[in-house]
Structure 1
């Protein structure tokens, strides 16, 4: 199995599970970026000092500590948002360790930035589409990330939307439809 498929498959879980609203997707992506950056910064001086067989356990400890701290900060910032994360925030620690073992942190910073940006764009797109189709709103839970704001978001339909789109199976269906649309577009352009 190649390196890209391992790291992409690990990113699939939060992409499907944590994108039922735009604000949840934005929060998970922000947490991902902060923890990945802190992990890369913290692991760089340790990597050269550790014996090769101790790098994975040290990475697990560092990633778990950083993710736990990020979850505590998220809980203190907004309990509603942190409760909607579920186990997806914990998967960030696993992503750190797998990315480290695939030498992601030794790659050029532009490649790392491109992967994080692509992941963020996918998270925001899925979150926006699922909230729009599932609830008929856009930005309905902005108060979760911006404290003290009592804004209901843009309500586009009075009766809500297709509830399946906010559930995990709806995320798989929407992602499958987006991949099929991309494939159709590529065939038409050739």
Structure 2
């Protein structure tokens, strides 16, 4: 049984669905051309993931193997429909922008994967927390990609936040580069692949540095230093 700290670490970093598992890439890449789009879809996915994990954990002992997967999909579809109706009622313009990616949350591999791998095997509290952390990890990757693409593409941040938070957020827009002409590639689909690739490379580099630091603290030489010593010995 993993501790809550380990569950959070797995969802947010070690087993992040966007940077490690590479699941749910279609909505991640398709809607992340701005912060508001990324945040809207990220929050919707997080809510569906946390609620579906809790619901599946509640009924896990009552399901047979024959109907388990269809029931999982039915629960996820029902929760996605609720989120879709709420967005139609409160954030209709953002709902229209996100389009088909909202109902497609039902088939998101992240949600189905956590339902089968964790929610169906753990208690309600742990399952809900796992869904919350995994959803937060996915939403943070979405937000990071959306922020970078908006910044590079338009030179702004927090543009059009009124679509999600109402008229009070109309003045949240930050124009970081006043005379910036824009960079079209960043807001086109290839820009999403490039930005996500850079984030994955950065995470891998951080993990490598942490691993080498841990080995150094344990009295072991990092791999790069061992290789230099080996090469020096061959030359001598």
**Short-chain TM bin:** 0.7 to 0.9
Q: How many residues align?
A: 187
Q: Which stretch of the first structure deviates more once superposed, 166-175 or 5-14?
A: 5-14
In structure 2, C-alpha distance between the alignment counterparts of 1:50 and 1:186, rounded to whole Å: 39
Are the counterparts in 2 of residues 78 and 145 from structure 1 also a CA contact under 8 Å? Answer: yes
Structure 2 match to 1:146? 165
Structure 2 match to 1:164? 185
* Cα distance per residue 1:95-154 (max 9 Å; x no partner): 333321233553545654443332222121111101101111100111011112332611
Task: With the length of structure 2 as denominator, give the TM-score of the two structures.
Answer: 0.68
In structure 2, C-alpha distance between the alignment counterparts of 1:13 and 1:102, rounded to whole Å: 21
Shift of 1:183: 5.0
In structure 2, C-alpha distance between the alignment counterparts of 1:167 and 1:174, rounded to whole Å: 11
Task: With the length of structure 1 as denominator, give the TM-score of the two structures.
Answer: 0.82
Is 2:103 aligned against 1:90?
yes
Change (3 A) 1:34 1:185: closer
In structure 2, C-alpha distance between the alignment counterparts of 1:61 and 1:121, rounded to whole Å: 27
Change (3 A) 1:103 1:111: closer
Is 2:101 aligned against 1:119?
no
**Which protein has the larger Cα radius of gyration, Structure 1 or Structure 2?**
2
Unmatched runs of 5 consecutive residues or more in structure 2:
1-14, 213-236
Are the counterparts in 2 of residues 136 and 156 from structure 1 also a CA contact under 8 Å? Answer: yes
Is 2:156 aligned against 1:174?
no
In structure 2, C-alpha distance between the alignment counterparts of 1:112 and 1:64, rounded to whole Å: 16
Structure 1 match to 2:70? 57
In structure 2, C-alpha distance between the alignment counterparts of 1:188 and 1:106, rounded to whole Å: 34
Among candidates 43, 46, 58, match of residue 45 of structure 1: 58
Are the counterparts in 2 of residues 28 and 85 from structure 1 also a CA contact under 8 Å? Answer: yes
Is 2:81 aligned against 1:79?
no
Q: What secondary structure, in the 3-state scheme, does the structure 2 residue paired with 1:51 have?
A: coil
In structure 1, C-alpha distance between the alignment counterparts of 2:86 and 2:181, rounded to whole Å: 32
Change (3 A) 1:100 1:141: same
